[in-house]
Amino acid sequence: MYIWGHMAKIKSKNNGTKKEVIVEAATRLFREKGFKAASMRDLAEAVGVEAASLYNHIQSKEELLQEICFKVANTFNQHLETIESSELPAIRKVEAILRFHIRQMLEQYELVLVADRDWKHLSDPYLSNFHNQRRTYRKRLAGIIEKGIHTGEIKQVDAPTVVLIMLHAVNGIESWHRSREKISAKQLEENMVLIMIEGLKA
């Protein structure tokens, strides 16, 4: 039964495989029920262990949420960095960022959704950290859009409003995941880009 026993060493090497299992199960559970409604006993059952045993691998329920939120934040921040320092015209940058959000929502949607919906349940060193990162990310994205407006690539609109629309529109992909008659992921992406980016072009 103790198939994980030999992993002990790896874990102490600061690379816990069992902890990753827990975080993954937590991600699924938090997405399904919400952070507050998901209990540690639910999570334990999903992992196949007693609730108390979880605490051999994690420090608290909130640590799980922190791990999820900042993993997502890092992913998006890193991508934004590379896009910003590229030589694309502004409208192409916006498109690339939109496509990245769509793909993350397609491939990692449980992670992204939990971070987006439940980050407010973080507590305060982490809460304001995350909140700031979020604000900064949106400001930078709005900056790219404004540059595109000045160069005449993008029609004259309020940049922060575009950011709101874009970032929230991709959340609709959650419903796509649950729907029965799905179009393909590729078609979904092209449709979203077509509607939103064409709506932006001057």
Partner DNA sequence: AATATACATACGAACAAACGTTAGTGCATC
Partner DNA sequence: GATGCACTAACGTTTGTTCGTATGTATATT
**CA atoms of 87 and 106, how far apart (whole Å):** 27
In whole angstroms, the minimum distance from the beta carbon of 158 to DNA comes to: 39
Of the ranges 40-48, 56-64, 90-98, 113-121, which one interacts with a second copy (CB under 8 A)? Answer: 113-121
Q: And the tokens for 28? A: 């699924």
Cα dihedral 48, 120, 58, 73 sign = positive
Q: Which does 18 bind (CB under 5 to 8 A by kind): a second copy, DNA, none?
A: DNA
**CA atoms of 186 and 23, how far apart (whole Å):** 29
Among 41, 150, 168, 177, binds DNA (CB under 7 A): 41
**CA atoms of 100 and 72, how far apart (whole Å):** 12
**CA atoms of 46 and 196, how far apart (whole Å):** 39
Q: Which does 56 bind (CB under 5 to 8 A by kind): a second copy, DNA, none?
A: DNA
Q: Which of residues 157-196 bind a second copy (CB under 8 A)?
A: 157-158, 160-165, 167-173, 175-176, 179, 183, 187-188, 191-192, 194-196
**CA atoms of 159 and 93, how far apart (whole Å):** 14
Q: Which does 78 bind (CB under 5 to 8 A by kind): DNA, a second copy, none?
A: none
Element (DSSP H or E) covering residue 32:
helix 17-33
Residue 7 binding DNA, by CB under 7 A? yes
Q: Which does 9 bind (CB under 5 to 8 A by kind): DNA, a second copy, none?
A: DNA
Q: Give the CA distances from residue 150 to residues 97, 153, 154, 164, in Å, rounded to whole numbers and listed in that order.
A: 19, 8, 8, 20
Residue 61 binding DNA, by CB under 7 A? yes
Q: And the tokens for 82? A: 């590379």
Q: Which residues bind DNA (CB under 7 A)?
A: 1-2, 4-9, 11-12, 16, 18, 38-42, 49-53, 55-57, 59-62
Q: Which residues bind a second copy (CB under 8 A)?
A: 34, 36-37, 117, 120-121, 138, 155, 157-158, 160-165, 167-173, 175-176, 179, 183, 187-188, 191-192, 194-200
